[in-house]
């Protein structure tokens, strides 16, 4: 990748007089917004504006739609092997530029660069290569009715589809959506979060370099309520794949459902992390630190409610809090465990929950405050990892998604009680169980209202598995064949024998 790319991702861009401008990627080219209006993009670790993104409008979306519609027939007709080759080139370019992309993600989101290096960027490359190769192995069903008929199923691309992704794992979740859409032969209009647009912009440069045909992927930056809404409303968008908050998911469903669009909604979570006394204590503690605070707790799968068997409740509090106190908070470009949360409003929302816990008489076992990081990060949005005890299972902190470095601890006495607490929220995304009793694990896995159950692990992902939530955590499944099914229409062809 050439010099412009390097220029974009260098830290300290705030020293340069002009904020850098990120551009829309429409019809294979990088374009300014037609309105000429821009939005500021803030670096969470410094609180400073370091770039601007297009404040795109319906006119930009229309240009993207025209490009995507024009590109669709040829892309849909391109042999899967050729689509796969182009996508693999993109995946290789991500790998080649891993360090630069990791730094960009860290700067844009506030996450520790070390996390972006080992998780976000490698996973973005894996998403693309997984679906680029999965499409080569896709098969469909036949149904043979002896002497009467032969049925076979065609799986055909849908057309122009919309992909809307959030800020917490920007390139990771952006590629998780567009990869199966493109592999299946659709053309795509994608809207990354306005809060973390940088790696999607860099990705558009990689697509150009990889020779992705013009119009196959179009990336339109801007505000959710404006450009995301316009994308959802556009009559020519046949399907919407959305990852984000439950409230936004409701708005999207209300808009898209009466238009009979296909919808995949990956929404919020309030995930239980259930710990039994018989678990491997060290393994549980090490993983629970990650499942509580990785990415500043801003992962939809984080186990924000830690539900602990009463016989080991006090031991857990002591051991866990001791480890939490060892976490290093600071400049995400350095070797830290906890970086900045994504924005000032989000930081204030999290602090509001902690204040609410205090008012309800909870004990803050550790954390609970904003952190001042000296030097270039003096105005950054840093929060202490926070552990809260003494709240009822039905209070707001145990029912609502906080999406920050805050966990609560609740005791249980019986398996039934643990299940009641775990299932007692409107959400149902992921649950974690810690026990050496395999029978108990199987029995509880069956009874947990959850799209994913991890036993003695967390965030162990195999891209072939179905991914998604129940209740208000989402509708539909992504991952593996589920994603390729979503991005295709099944057609039954019946031949009389
Ligand atoms: P969000 O506010 O719902 O935004 C998600 C995306 O939707 C952004 O690109 C946003 O654009 C856009 N958007 C906002 N309003 C829209 C509208 N009316 N129509 C169409 N698009 C619209 O979510 P977030 O705060 O970015 O992300 C955090 C949430 O995502 C959490 O609830 C988390 O649990 C959830 N999440 C779920 C999963 C999962 O797999 N289930 C994974 C990761 C995150 P702007 O940013 O420009 O507003």
Render 417-429 in DSSP notation, one character per residue: HHHHHHH-SS--S
Indicate whether 253 pLDDT > 70: yes
CB 172 within 8 A of CB 123: yes
What integer pLDDT is reported at residue 363 of this predicted model?
Answer: 98
What integer pLDDT is reported at residue 18 of this predicted model?
Answer: 63
Ligand 1: nearest atom to the Cα of 246: 32
pLDDT of 331-351, one tens digit each?
999 999 999 999 999 999 999
Going by alpha carbons, the residue nearest to atom 46 of ligand 1 is 193
Pocket residue to mutate for ligand 1, from 24, 57, 166, most atoms within 8 A of Cβ: 166
What integer pLDDT is reported at residue 278 of this predicted model?
Answer: 98
What integer pLDDT is reported at residue 435 of this predicted model?
Answer: 98
> Does residue 268's CB lie within 6 angstroms of at least one atom of ligand 1?
yes
User: What gap in Å lies between CA 21 and CA 50, rounded to an integer?
Assistant: 9
Classify the C-alpha dihedral 399-403-404-409 as positive or negative: positive
> Does residue 164's CB lie within 6 angstroms of at least one atom of ligand 1?
yes
pLDDT of 364-422, one tens digit each?
999 999 999 999 999 999 999 999 999 999 999 999 999 999 999 999 999 999 999 99
**What is the Å distance from ligand 1's center to 165 Cα?**
6
Residue in 300, 302, 377, 478 annotated catalytic: 300
Ligand 1: nearest atom to the Cα of 266: 41
**What is the Å distance from ligand 1's center to 96 Cα?**
29
Going by alpha carbons, the residue nearest to atom 40 of ligand 1 is 266
> Does residue 193's CB lie within 6 angstroms of at least one atom of ligand 1?
yes
Does the active-site annotation cover 266?
yes
Once rounded to an integer, what is the mean pLDDT over residues 86-113?
98
> Which pLDDT band, with edges at 50, 70 and 90, does 9 fall under?
very low
CB 356 within 8 A of CB 348: no
> Does residue 468's CB lie within 6 angstroms of at least one atom of ligand 1?
no
Cα 493 to Cα 136, 140, 230, 293, 485: the distances in Å are 22, 12, 35, 51, 17
**What is the Å distance from ligand 1's center to 257 Cα?**
18
Asked which of 5-9, 393-397, 462-466, 475-479 is least confident by mean pLDDT, the reply is: 5-9
Indicate whether 11 pLDDT > 50: no
Phi, psi values for residue 280, rounded to 5°: -75, 105
Once rounded to an integer, what is the mean pLDDT over residues 429-451?
98
pLDDT of 173-227, one tens digit each?
999 999 999 999 999 999 999 999 999 999 999 999 999 999 999 999 999 999 9
Once rounded to an integer, what is the mean pLDDT over residues 123-128?
98
> Does residue 238's CB lie within 6 angstroms of at least one atom of ligand 1?
no
Percent of the chain with pLDDT over 90: 96
> Does residue 402's CB lie within 6 angstroms of at least one atom of ligand 1?
no
What integer pLDDT is reported at residue 3 of this predicted model?
Answer: 37
User: What gap in Å lies between CA 271 and CA 446, rounded to an integer?
Assistant: 16
**What is the Å distance from ligand 1's center to 489 Cα?**
26
CB 344 within 8 A of CB 381: yes
User: What gap in Å lies between CA 450 and CA 430, rounded to an integer?
Assistant: 5
Ligand 1: nearest atom to the Cα of 401: 32
The whole-chain average pLDDT of the chain stands at 96
> Which pLDDT band, with edges at 50, 70 and 90, does 7 fall under?
very low
> Which pLDDT band, with edges at 50, 70 and 90, does 19 fall under?
confident
**What is the Å distance from ligand 1's center to 148 Cα?**
50
> Does residue 55's CB lie within 6 angstroms of at least one atom of ligand 1?
no
Cα 309 to Cα 369, 393, 410, 414, 423: the distances in Å are 28, 15, 9, 8, 16
User: What gap in Å lies between CA 385 and CA 368, rounded to an integer?
Assistant: 7
> Does residue 403's CB lie within 6 angstroms of at least one atom of ligand 1?
yes
CB 327 within 8 A of CB 289: yes
**What is the Å distance from ligand 1's center to 241 Cα?**
11
> Does residue 219's CB lie within 6 angstroms of at least one atom of ligand 1?
no
Going by alpha carbons, the residue nearest to atom 35 of ligand 1 is 244
What integer pLDDT is reported at residue 238 of this predicted model?
Answer: 97
């Amino acid at each position: 990748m050439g010099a412009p790319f390097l220029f974009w991702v260098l830290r300290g861009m705030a020293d340069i007089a002009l904020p850098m401008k990120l551009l829309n990627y429409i019809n294979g080219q990088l374009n300014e917004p037609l309105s000429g209006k821009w939005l500021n993009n803030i670096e969470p670790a410094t609180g400073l504006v370091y770039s601007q993104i297009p404040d795109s409008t319906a006119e930009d979306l229309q240009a993207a739609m025209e490009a995507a519609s024009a590109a669709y027939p040829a892309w849909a007709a391109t042999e899967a092997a050729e689509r796969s080759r182009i996508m693999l080139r993109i995946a290789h370019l991500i790998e080649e530029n891993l360090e630069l992309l990791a730094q960009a993600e860290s700067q844009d989101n506030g996450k520790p660069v070390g996390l972006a290096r080992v998780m976000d960027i490698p996973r973005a490359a894996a998403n693309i290569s997984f679906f680029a190769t999965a499409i080569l192995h896709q098969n469909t069903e036949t149904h043979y009715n002896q002497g009467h008929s032969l049925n076979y199923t065609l799986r055909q691309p849908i057309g122009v589809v919309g992909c809307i992704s959030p800020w917490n794992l920007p390139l990771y979740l952006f590629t998780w959506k567009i990869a199966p859409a493109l592999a299946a032969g659709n053309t795509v209009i994608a809207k990354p979060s306005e809060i973390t647009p940088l790696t999607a912009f860099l990705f558009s440069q990689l697509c150009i370099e990889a020779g992705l045909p013009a119009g196959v992927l179009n990336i339109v930056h801007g505000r959710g309520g404006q450009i995301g809404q316009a994308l959802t409303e556009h009559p020519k968008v046949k399907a919407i794949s959305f990852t984000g908050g439950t409230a936004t998911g409701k708005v999207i469903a209300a808009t898209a459902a009466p238009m009979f669009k296909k919808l995949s909604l990956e929404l919020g979570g309030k995930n239980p992390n259930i710990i039994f006394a018989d678990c491997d204590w060290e393994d549980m503690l090490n993983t629970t630190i990650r499942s509580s605070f990785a990415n500043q707790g801003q992962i939809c799968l984080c186990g924000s409610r830690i539900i602990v068997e009463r016989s080991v409740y006090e031991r857990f509090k002591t051991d866990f809090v001791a480890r939490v106190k060892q976490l290093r908070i600071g400049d995400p470009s350095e070797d830290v465990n906890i970086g900045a949360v994504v924005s000032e409003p989000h930081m204030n929302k999290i602090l509001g929950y902690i204040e609410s816990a205090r008012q309800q008489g909870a004990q803050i076992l550790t954390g609970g405050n904003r952190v001042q990081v000296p030097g270039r990060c003096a105005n950054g949005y840093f929060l202490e990892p926070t552990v809260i005890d003494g709240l009822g299972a039905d209070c707001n902190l145990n029912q609502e998604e906080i999406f920050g470095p805050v966990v609560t601890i609740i005791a249980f006495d019986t398996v039934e009680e643990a299940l009641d607490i775990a299932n007692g929220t409107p959400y149902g995304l992921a649950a974690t169980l810690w026990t050496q009793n395999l029978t108990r694990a199987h029995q509880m896995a069956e009874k947990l209202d959850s799209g994913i159950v991890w036993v003695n692990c967390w965030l162990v992902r195999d891209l072939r598995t179905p991914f998604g939530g129940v209740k208000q955590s989402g509708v539909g499944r992504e991952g593996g064949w589920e994603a390729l099914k979503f991005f295709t229409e099944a057609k039954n062809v019946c031949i009389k024998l």
